[in-house]
Chain A
């Protein structure tokens, strides 16, 4: 499955890696010295809170990260009740660990003549409520979305999966910021090789600061120079769980509502949870529409360019006259028309994304109506080109995952270029190029374009059409799941009627 043996790679990893780690400083016997070194570690920051407790020691914490109520209720009350409240299990003895704990909202208790520090979870964050992710709206189905709190996100996943084999593994990344990341998978489904590969790749992920899983994604994805996303990033717990159940893993970072799912295949980007909550005719129809929009999104502008610049014989006579009429007074070659219109469109959409709602609507009106009609009136762009670009944009927006939809629009630019240089032949070659790339691409060692390449007819029940759910009795084999059978025979009752 993987090209090199893991053993050799591991050795290479240990030998060739520059270590970021600094030799940890242990806590000393002296209370004041310990407090001073903590203060120094935090460079005398003003939000460093201290509270002395008679006969016990000193509590030290970051005021901005803790909930004062929790300190009062949990620690002070507990300490008053009995000395047994302090347990050895909740201790650390390295200064670095103390700092890490404090950065996570823990409160540290330092005692005189004691080389260990006790910690208490007093984290007090403000979280936003669970709402539907604005980038992945659906009509029917769960409207839950991830939020910025890791434990809430894991809770959402666990509540949906309700599986004792669901494993959550915490990892920390970033030498200077300690971002917490959870890797989630279902132990009796996921292939161990995939997991091993993931851990191996993550072992290289050493950086000063890892802001979001987006950083990790770029560290561990197979091909950085591919236009296609090789990990599915989603804000929907139902999507994550559905993928976990097919033997995939998810990476969720703290303070980020995005989950990364891999190994993923191309067609997953064209599926929406909606499809599975409606009848399969509707689901299939919508999937087909989306795959059609994939083709429109990439090829329509280039086809139009190729037609008006090379092969106008292929369109019907009357339509050709209409095209000629609209083009007659446009001073630019079609490629300039197309690229400039596409850029205008991207500008409008980018402006509308950045601005608050009510102003964004104004942008839509100004951009869509005013620019659109004025540009045609001034003969800068032909009517037909406006239609083509608008269709392309709408088509690309139907793809449920934003990343893929932008990729599709991006792929349209070289296609237009190929169409304007070489006509239909250019487009054919460009499409072949994309297809070859897709066939070769891998996501964590698994074929990205499966089940088309390698072709597995049996598994094409959820690519172009969505077959009824009871027809998909087996999980996709590309993830090499341990248990291939997804369900028994849910329609068995039909025979016994």
Chain B
């Protein structure tokens, strides 16, 4: 008995070998993947693969380089399979940093691209998703941006955009529940290749259902949209034109740094089944830059506060009408209707109703800090 047990344990240890090892040194790490629609209906996958430079083994800092590879297929998995025939090593998408989607492709339902990411367990769920203006292929083929390899640079650009509340934090994981939810739509960060081969964030690409609407919210207003959806990040700054009557342009503006501290969406349905919503936000404001006045008197602060409030309300109204036009229920009002008024929800076609409903933003502002000059 004892001998059998020992024999079996030995078998288990010796005979397993290394069958399921996946050695890091044998992998070809894909770090950035771009998908585009080809004219024949197939997908074009552009992959940024991180490879150590030749002669960089042993002591010393290993240097990495980006190898861009292209493959096609009817589905993402098929294009990956055709890619695997080319790469020298095991193709490993477990540490992908960004998925870039071409504009053309996004205008169709994007779920088929993500299906494999949710099905196969070794995919990188933390990867960012961005929409590229034009084709993703062009963006990834840049190879080096700002002395950084393309995917690394793209990731850093997106992360800093997120921190500055320009774009929402979207990853493969976070977008999943929204993809399946009829009562809420999402937006992806939109980036573009500028003329001098740099990458810039241009704003948020609004989706309706799982399709790109073609409408973008620019970085000027995207911060407001994110605040309305309670998605503020580390730094939320706005430049507001509070004194249009001033001659000098510099004096027309105030730059504020805001700290949202209250967010609330209230839904009401009237007897005639009219849905309306009130989005209430309260903002604490730091004045960062205001060349006109040093704000030492209480009166000046109060009048500025009023002006800031007006500007914010206008901004909020603008951005709400923008998303309603695009039929992108970014604030998730449909989900709330579904939850609180299920009968109303069942009786209507939300996609038809949404652009027509009343959404009123209510902004409260309070200046709490005017800087260290007095």
Residues of A within 8 A of B (CB): 307-310, 312-313, 317, 320-330, 333-334, 373, 376-379, 383, 417, 420-422
Decide if B59 touches A309 in the complex (CB within 8 Å). Answer: no
Residue in B20, B58, B63 whose beta carbon sits within 8 Å of that of A377 in the complex: B58
Chain B residues contacting A329 (CB-CB under 8 Å) are 57-58
Decide if A326 touches B62 in the complex (CB within 8 Å). Answer: yes
Given contacts A329-B58, A377-B59, contact A317 B24 (CB under 8 A): no
Chain A residues contacting B124 (CB-CB under 8 Å) are 313
Judge whether B5 is part of the interface by a CB distance below 8 angstroms: no
Map CB proximity to A onto B164-177 as digits: 1 under 8 Å, 0 otherwise.
00000000000000
With the chains together, A417 CA to B18 CA distance in Å?
Answer: 11
Decide if A417 touches B13 in the complex (CB within 8 Å). Answer: yes
With the chains together, A333 CA to B17 CA distance in Å?
Answer: 11
Residue in B24, B50, B59, B62 whose beta carbon sits within 8 Å of that of A312 in the complex: B24
Chain A residues contacting B21 (CB-CB under 8 Å) are 309-310, 333, 420
Chain B residues contacting A324 (CB-CB under 8 Å) are 24-25, 27, 29, 50, 52, 62
The total of Cβ contacts below 8 Å across the A-B interface reads: 84
> Which 8 A-B pairs rank lowest in CB-CB distance, beginning with the nearest?
A325-B62, A329-B57, A327-B25, A308-B24, A312-B24, A309-B21, A328-B52, A325-B52
Chain B contact-residue range equals 20 to 34
Q: List 18 A-B contacts (CB under 8 A).
A: A307-B24, A308-B24, A308-B25, A309-B24, A310-B20, A312-B22, A317-B95, A321-B50, A322-B62, A324-B25, A325-B62, A327-B24, A328-B25, A329-B57, A333-B23, A334-B23, A379-B57, A383-B59
Given contacts A313-B94, A376-B59, contact A421 B13 (CB under 8 A): yes
Chain A residues contacting B58 (CB-CB under 8 Å) are 329, 376-379, 383
Judge whether B299 is part of the interface by a CB distance below 8 angstroms: no
Nearest Cβ in chain B — how far from A312, in angstroms?
Answer: 5
Decide if A309 touches B23 in the complex (CB within 8 Å). Answer: yes
With the chains together, A333 CA to B22 CA distance in Å?
Answer: 11
Nearest Cβ in chain A — how far from B335, in angstroms?
Answer: 32
Residues of B within 8 A of A (CB): 13, 16-18, 20-25, 27, 29, 31, 50, 52, 56-59, 61-64, 94-95, 97, 122, 124
Chain A residues contacting B62 (CB-CB under 8 Å) are 321-322, 324-326, 328
Decide if B61 touches A325 in the complex (CB within 8 Å). Answer: yes
Beyond known contacts A313-B94, A328-B25, A378-B58: 11 more, CB 8 A cutoff: A307-B24, A309-B21, A310-B21, A317-B95, A317-B97, A324-B52, A325-B52, A326-B62, A376-B58, A379-B57, A383-B58
Chain B residues contacting A328 (CB-CB under 8 Å) are 25, 52, 56-57, 62
Residue in A313, A322, A330, A417 whose beta carbon sits within 8 Å of that of B25 in the complex: A330
Given contacts A324-B24, A333-B21, contact A373 B16 (CB under 8 A): no
Residue in B18, B24, B56, B122 whose beta carbon sits within 8 Å of that of A320 in the complex: B24
Given contacts A333-B18, A376-B58, contact A308 B64 (CB under 8 A): no
Chain B residues contacting A422 (CB-CB under 8 Å) are 16
Nearest Cβ in chain A — how far from B154, in angstroms?
Answer: 13
Chain B residues contacting A309 (CB-CB under 8 Å) are 18, 21-24
Decide if B18 touches A323 in the complex (CB within 8 Å). Answer: no
Nearest Cβ in chain B — how far from A418, in angstroms?
Answer: 9
Q: List the A residue with the shortest CB-CB distance to B124.
A: A313
Q: List the B residue with the shortest CB-CB distance to A418.
A: B13
Most buried by A among B25, B57, B94: B25
Chain B residues contacting A373 (CB-CB under 8 Å) are 59
Q: List the B residue with the shortest CB-CB distance to A378.
A: B58
With the chains together, A421 CA to B21 CA distance in Å?
Answer: 8
Chain A residues contacting B29 (CB-CB under 8 Å) are 320-321, 324
Nearest Cβ in chain A — how far from B125, in angstroms?
Answer: 10
Chain B residues contacting A334 (CB-CB under 8 Å) are 23
Decide if B16 touches A312 in the complex (CB within 8 Å). Answer: no
Decide if A421 touches B16 in the complex (CB within 8 Å). Answer: yes
Nearest Cβ in chain A — how far from B204, in angstroms?
Answer: 25
Most buried by A among B17, B18, B63, B124: B18
Q: List the A residue with the shortest CB-CB distance to B123.
A: A313
Q: List the A residue with the shortest CB-CB distance to B125.
A: A313
With the chains together, A328 CA to B28 CA distance in Å?
Answer: 11
Most buried by B among A310, A421, A422: A421
With the chains together, A10 CA to B199 CA distance in Å?
Answer: 87
Chain B residues contacting A321 (CB-CB under 8 Å) are 29, 50, 62, 64
Chain A residues contacting B17 (CB-CB under 8 Å) are 421
Nearest Cβ in chain A — how far from B343, in angstroms?
Answer: 46
Q: List the B residue with the shortest CB-CB distance to A383.
A: B59
Nearest Cβ in chain A — how far from B108, in angstroms?
Answer: 30
Nearest Cβ in chain B — how far from A335, in angstroms?
Answer: 8
Nearest Cβ in chain A — how far from B173, in angstroms?
Answer: 13
With the chains together, A330 CA to B59 CA distance in Å?
Answer: 12
Decide if A420 touches B94 in the complex (CB within 8 Å). Answer: no
Given contacts A312-B94, A313-B124, contact A325 B22 (CB under 8 A): no
Chain A residues contacting B94 (CB-CB under 8 Å) are 312-313
With the chains together, A326 CA to B64 CA distance in Å?
Answer: 11
Nearest Cβ in chain B — how far from A332, in angstroms?
Answer: 10
Nearest Cβ in chain A — how far from B58, in angstroms?
Answer: 5
Nearest Cβ in chain B — how far from A225, in angstroms?
Answer: 13
Residue in A307, A308, A320 whose beta carbon sits within 8 Å of that of B95 in the complex: A320
With the chains together, A325 CA to B22 CA distance in Å?
Answer: 16
Nearest Cβ in chain B — how far from A490, in angstroms?
Answer: 52
With the chains together, A313 CA to B30 CA distance in Å?
Answer: 12
With the chains together, A312 CA to B93 CA distance in Å?
Answer: 11
Nearest Cβ in chain B — how far from A463, in angstroms?
Answer: 32
With the chains together, A313 CA to B29 CA distance in Å?
Answer: 11
With the chains together, A37 CA to B346 CA distance in Å?
Answer: 116
With the chains together, A335 CA to B124 CA distance in Å?
Answer: 26
With the chains together, A379 CA to B25 CA distance in Å?
Answer: 13
Q: List the B residue with the shortest CB-CB distance to A320.
A: B95
Decide if A308 touches B13 in the complex (CB within 8 Å). Answer: no
Nearest Cβ in chain A — how far from B61, in angstroms?
Answer: 7
Nearest Cβ in chain A — how far from B176, in angstroms?
Answer: 18
Nearest Cβ in chain A — how far from B185, in angstroms?
Answer: 30
Q: List the B residue with the shortest CB-CB distance to A322.
A: B62
Given contacts A324-B25, A328-B57, contact A313 B52 (CB under 8 A): no
